[in-house]
């Protein structure tokens, strides 16, 4: 029942994306005008400011590139396995891989062409909707944030949320500004990535409850116990010997 609730939450979160996809497939005129206007205005700025455009390329192709973000998630997953945090490792891998496969599948179904602009400042292969960069930014930042939050002092957690938000918004801006995605592609990537995170997050919460663990708030991360570095208590001495028990309790 809990997993069914998680699935329902994921479906509900996917509704805004489904509506946007219908508008894209139907070439809704207001959306086309919005996409075209944003693309041409930002393209004009990119042509007039080469240094600015070079900075956007570095951010898009290196700092926020899907390969970079997925590598960060892979390293985090390996660390979780080393820490024997099996549930978190499974969730991180499932969210990253599931998100990537879902994005590719939707691209193949929609088959939307990328913007064709005069004097393009950047090129990208494949179909356009949804933006893989935007979707990967959402899923990867969510994994990094929700896993590592318990290790961050409470006073610094707001900064972590801000950094994740700036990264997600920044990725979307660079893709539109470089002329390789429409604005609606980026919004679609954000919405679909968010739906994947909601689905896997709810499933993870149901998994925790089935394991007898308490519910957690998003502000605490998915598994606050990760911050507890204390080893499991070990029995020592003869339980029937009071002296050995006393020695075992000494620091």
In a domain, 25, yes or no: yes
pLDDT of residue 242: 43
Task: Provide the pLDDT for residue 217.
Answer: 80
Q: Is residue 109 part of a domain?
A: yes
214 Cβ contact partners less than 8 Å away, ≥ 6 residues apart: 208
Q: Has residue 216 been placed in a domain?
A: yes
Q: What pLDDT, on the 0 to 100 scale, is given for residue 239?
A: 45
* Residue 187: per-residue pLDDT: 97
State the Cα torsion 64-220-153-91 to the nearest 10°: -40
- pTM, two decimals, is 0.86
131 in a structural domain: yes
- The pLDDT averaged over each successive group of 10 residues in the chain (251 residues) is 70 89 94 95 94 94 94 96 92 95 95 92 93 97 95 91 96 96 97 93 85 80 77 42 42 40
State the Cα–Cα distance between residues 35 and 182, nearest whole angstrom: 5
1 secondary structure, DSSP code: -
* Rounded CA separation 198/138 (Å): 11
Cα dihedral 194, 113, 42, 66, rounded to 10, equals 40
Domain tally for the chain?
A: 1
pLDDT for the residue numbered 74: 97
Contact 211, 156 (CB under 8 A): no
Q: Where would I find the H helices in 149-213?
A: 154-177, 183-210
Is residue 178 included in any domain, yes or no?
yes
pLDDT value of position 237: 44
Helix, strand, or coil (residue 82):
helix
193: containing domain: 2-114+126-227
Q: Look at residue 42 and tell me if it is in a domain.
A: yes
What is the distance between the alpha carbons of residues 21 and 53, in angstroms, rounded to a whole number?
A: 29
According to the model, what pLDDT value does residue 221 have? Answer: 86
243 within a domain of the structure (yes/no): no
Among 113, 117, 110, residue whose Cα is nearest residue 37 = 117
Determine, yes or no, domain membership for 155.
Answer: yes
């Amino acid at each position: 029942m809990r997993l069914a609730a998680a699935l329902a939450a994921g479906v509900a979160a996917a509704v805004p994306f489904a509506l946007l996809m219908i508008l894209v497939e139907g070439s809704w005129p207001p959306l086309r005008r919005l996409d075209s206007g944003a693309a041409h205005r930002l393209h004009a700025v990119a042509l007039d400011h080469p240094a600015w455009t070079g900075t956007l390329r570095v951010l898009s192709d290196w700092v926020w590139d899907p390969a970079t973000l997925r590598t960060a998630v892979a390293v985090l997953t390996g660390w979780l396995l080393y820490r024997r945090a099996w549930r978190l490792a499974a969730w991180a891998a499932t969210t990253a891989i599931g998100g990537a496969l879902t994005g590719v599948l939707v691209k193949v179904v929609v088959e939307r062409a990328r913007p064709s602009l005069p004097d393009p400042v950047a090129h990208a292969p494949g179909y356009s909707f949804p933006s893989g960069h935007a979707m990967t930014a959402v899923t990867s930042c969510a994994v990094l944030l929700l896993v590592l939050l318990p290790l961050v002092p409470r006073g610094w957690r707001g900064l972590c949320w801000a950094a994740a938000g700036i990264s997600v918004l920044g990725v979307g801006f660079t893709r539109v500004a470089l002329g390789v995605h429409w604005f609606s592609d980026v919004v679609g990537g954000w919405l679909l990535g968010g739906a994947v995170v909601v689905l896997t997050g709810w499933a993870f919460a149901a998994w925790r409850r089935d394991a007898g663990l308490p519910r957690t708030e998003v502000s605490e991360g998915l598994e606050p116990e990760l911050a507890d570095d204390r080893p499991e208590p070990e029995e020592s001495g003869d339980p029937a010997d009071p002296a050995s028990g006393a020695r075992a309790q000494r620091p």
